[in-house]
Amino acid sequence: MLPNADQADTETDGLGDLCDDDLDGDGVDNADDNCQNASNAQQTDTDADGIGDLCDVDIDGDGLPNVEDNCPSVVNADQLDSDSDGIGDACAGLRTFVRGDSNGDLAVNIADPVNTLNFLFGPTILGCMLAADANDDNRLNIADPIWTISFLFLGGPPPPPPYPNPGFDAAAPGSLECGP
């Protein structure tokens, strides 16, 4: 037993932090977790610096903090923005979105898995398939609304970045797109 006077239990799993091998409850042991205090089961690390994107103040590793970077997921130290739209040229043609927000209202809630299910099994058209890909596996299928429902109601992991704030897809381009 370890003394644990303050009884801190970050993810409220009944295990004190001093005895807990997974502080954020994301299924990745602390020793292997690149962001121990934020649930990030995917372990996304865009710039491969060992710090998970959810904890990294410079996701793309270009030397500019995310809050000042006009293209935080793509290296662009020059911050070139030819059309002065606030989005760096390195991100030209990309659209910001919130992962898990399939209806585009910038919030992840029960309407999103319902919207994704309506796309998968009904007549709904999605404006951004990347946003509906809640588990970021570059496939749009039944696993995506299940991921979102698990997050919203069962304490499952949140959607991978860009979440909870709008951003760009950090991964290499795949088959899913985000329309204009």
Q: Tell me which residue of 84, 54, 66 sits closest to 76, measured CA to CA.
A: 66
Residue 108 domain-assigned (yes or no): yes
pLDDT digits (tens, 9 = 90+) for 136-171: 999 999 999 999 999 999 999 999 988 988 887 766
d(CA 136, CA 171): 9
Q: Tell me which residue of 97, 68, 104 sits closest to 160, measured CA to CA.
A: 97
Token pair 């602390």 in the structure block, residue:
30
Classify residue 165 as exposed, middle or buried by CB count within 10 Å of its CB (0-12, 13-18, 19+). exposed
Residue 116 domain-assigned (yes or no): yes
Residue 15 domain-assigned (yes or no): no
pLDDT at 121: 95
Q: Helix or strand or coil: residue 146? A: helix
Within 13 A of 156's CA, how many CA atoms are on the CB side?
A: 17
Domain count across the chain? 1
Residue 145 domain-assigned (yes or no): yes
Q: Tokens for 153, please give them.
A: 């109601």
Residue 74 domain-assigned (yes or no): no
What predicted TM-score, i.e. pTM, was given to this entire model? 0.57
CATH number, domain at 149? 1.10.1330.10
pLDDT digits (tens, 9 = 90+) for 23-62: 777 778 878 888 888 777 778 787 889 998 878 899 889 9
pLDDT at 5: 62
Residue 136 domain-assigned (yes or no): yes
Burial call 108-135: b when 16+ CB within 10 Å, e when fewer: beeebbbbbbbbeeeeeebebbbbbbbb
Structural domain range at position 112 = 95-171
pLDDT band at 1, cuts 50/70/90?
A: low
Residue 100 domain-assigned (yes or no): yes
